[in-house]
Amino acid sequence: MTEATHTVKSYEQELEHLRSLMAQMGGLVERQTAQAVKAVVDGDEEAAIEAPELDPEVDELEREAEALAIRILALRSPMAVDLRTIVAALKVTGDLERIGDYASSIARRAMKLEMDGSTMSLVGLKNMGRLVQDNLRRAIDALTERDRDGAVAVWQADTAVDELYTAMFRELVTYMMEDPRNITACIHLLFVAKNLERIGDHTTNIAERVYYAVTGEMLPAVRPRGGRGHTST
């Protein structure tokens, strides 16, 4: 009896530890994304430097979560919701790692952006950054709280991110046409916008994973926007 109780308890502890690793990893990439946006929109150099510095920590957490997930799979033979949660963890760590990567990439670009004297407006990017960060935070909340409805809400919200991206794309092309001196800065901003859009995509993936882990059912393959990874611009 003591043996059984002990086993049950440490199994629960392992699952709890996995959840905590995921939450830590989520928190880190959230911070990277926030810094990346700050680096571009406010020209904050410290933020630009700090975001990529967090990469190794994110990678280390990914490895740790994965090793733990494999250990639980091997030793505990989890079933049903536990099994789905562990499989979701294995997939979600990949999405979080990519989000961290995109955020670092944005931050590195920010350091090369020379916006002095430019008349370009960064309002579109600011809005896009705010929305992407907001969705990411909610996706990570849904992940840690196993919140089905929260996951659905995030999944639906990505349409707005895509719309903002399309508007930004057009705006930046116009700036480039108007004055070739804007070209280099605009290319960097285009990639920043694209990376934010990709962060939005991975955020949606996380929401889909959470939904599956909690309910055992998949969200439809086609997102509200009309197709995963559809790139009209």
Binding site for its own copies (CB under 8 A): 55-56, 59, 63, 66, 69-70, 73-74, 77, 79, 83-84, 87, 90-91, 94, 98, 101-102, 104-105, 108-109, 173, 176-177, 180, 183-184, 187, 190-191, 194, 218, 221, 227-232
Residue 52 CB, shortest distance to its own copies, in Å, is: 8
Q: 9 or 228, CB closer to its own copies?
A: 228
Residue 171 CB, shortest distance to its own copies, in Å, is: 13
Residue 221 CB, shortest distance to its own copies, in Å, is: 5
DSSP string, 83-146: HHHHHHHHHHHHHHHHHHHHHHHHHHHHHH---TT-----HHHHHHHHHHHHHHHHHHHHHHHT
Q: 149 or 184, CB closer to its own copies?
A: 184
How far lies 58's CA from each of 23, 39, 69, 95, 96, in Å? 11, 19, 16, 11, 8
Q: 102 or 149, CB closer to its own copies?
A: 102
Please state the separation of Cα 23 from the chain's center in Å.
13
Task: Identify which of 19, 190, 187, 202 has the alpha carbon closest to the alpha carbon of residue 95.
Answer: 202
Dig out the tokens for 141 from the structure: 């909340």
Residue with tokens 């990567």: 101
Q: 134 or 191, CB closer to its own copies?
A: 191
Residue 176 CB, shortest distance to its own copies, in Å, is: 5
Q: 23 or 83, CB closer to its own copies?
A: 83
- Residue 82 makes CB contacts below 8 A (sequence gap 6+) with 15, 76
Residue 28 CB, shortest distance to its own copies, in Å, is: 15
